[in-house]
Amino acid sequence: MEKESKIYIAGHRGMVGSAIIRRLNELGYNNLVYRTSKELDLRRQSDVEKFFEEEKPEYVFLAAAKVGGIHANNTYPAEFIYDNLMIETNIIHSAYKAGIKKLLFLGSSCIYPKFANQPIKEEELLSGYLEPTNEAYAISKITGIELCKFYRRQYGVDFISAMPTNLYGINDNFDLETSHVMPALIRKFHEAKVNGDKEVVMWGTGKPRREFLYVDDLADALIHLMNNYSDEIHVNMGTGEDIEIRELAEIIKKVVGYEGKIVNDTSKPDGTPRKLLDVERLHATGWKHKVELEEGIKKVYEWYLREYE
């Protein structure tokens, strides 16, 4: 990408999209295009095609998606599969028709098989059964990756895909009904501290292991991929390091300064036992993460205090 290239960021208000914009601006890219969901409903094919015809972007970061944690995925599976299928299909097809130079699609590590070999290599995709609690979302995101692959094969377009691990950062979703584990725990510990509660209830056993990547690191990696990678196989985006959820909770408890105890609600689901990505392909492109976990949690909590309090 040249500094003056016209770049469309789909999903610019989300945690990932806003991080991509921050990093692009820092690097001197200033010809950026984006629309709010009120201005452009990405689920409507004719509206998306019209947008591409009028704006003619050269590069596309496809970060728009309907996302959520275990509860949201379990409760609204039809919305998760429909919205995500429509968003990605409309953008990928319209980008092809408009003749853009390059598109980068974001998948998610939760779309790998539930019992994939660890750490998970890119080749594990579609090698086994999915985690039932997020099957609808997983199928939609797998479809996006396959769309990029097959459009690339048939039409010769430079469409690539990235597979981020669990993400966290500023602009995350802290709604306890729909959020992922990191922001949910930050909010729970903070509110317990403020209210003087003696305990915080955490879903599941705390034994599952998860890998976490700071979203600004992801944004930097995605721009790096856009400039340095071109292949039909997707690239895992992560740190190559994971941690038990109970250990994560202890770190967040320490950062927040909560002094009560943690209680596990084992009636709630754990989800996939482990999701550690093999990041050799990413490292081979010359990129490695910079923000370590506790440092990143401190950054998020400082932002949470400013924005939510």
Question: Can you tell me the distance from the alpha carbon of 258 to that of 178, in angstroms, rounded to the nearest whole number?
Answer: 23
Judge whether 166 is annotated as a binding position: yes
**Is 240 marked within a binding site?**
no
Place of tokens 């979703």: 173
Task: Consult the annotation and say whether 109 binds a ligand.
Answer: yes
User: Following DSSP, what letter does each residue of 144-198 receive, concatenated?
Assistant: HHHHHHHHHHHH---EEEEEE-EEE-TT----TTT--HHHHHHHHHHHHHHHT-S
Q: Is 151 assigned a catalytic role?
A: no
Q: Does 277 count as an annotated binding residue?
A: no
**Annotation-wise, does 3 bind a ligand?**
no
Annotated ligand binding at 24? The verdict is no
Is 303 annotated in some ligand binding site? Answer: no
86 annotated as a binding-site residue: no
Annotated ligand binding at 57? The verdict is no
State the Cα–Cα distance between residues 304 and 309, nearest whole angstrom: 7
From the candidates 8, 59, 137, 304, give the one annotated as an active-site residue. 137
The label of the residue with tokens 């692959």 reads 149
Residue 232 CB contacts under 8 Å (≥ 6 apart), including other chains = 148, 149, 152, 153, 160
278 marked as part of a ligand binding site: no
Determine how many CB atoms are found less than 10 A away from the CB of residue 207: 12
Q: Which residues contact 19 (CB under 8 A, 6 or more apart)?
A: 169, 170, 171, 215, 216, 218, 219
**293-308 helix and 245-256 helix, angle to the nearest 10 degrees:** 50
141 marked as binding residue? yes
Summarize the annotated binding site for NADP(+) as residue ranges: 11-17, 106-109, 141, 164-167, 180
Summarize the annotated binding site as residue ranges: 11-17, 106-109, 141, 164-167, 180, 188, 203, 210, 270
Summarize the annotated binding site for substrate as residue ranges: 188, 203, 210, 270
Residue positions annotated with a catalytic role: 137
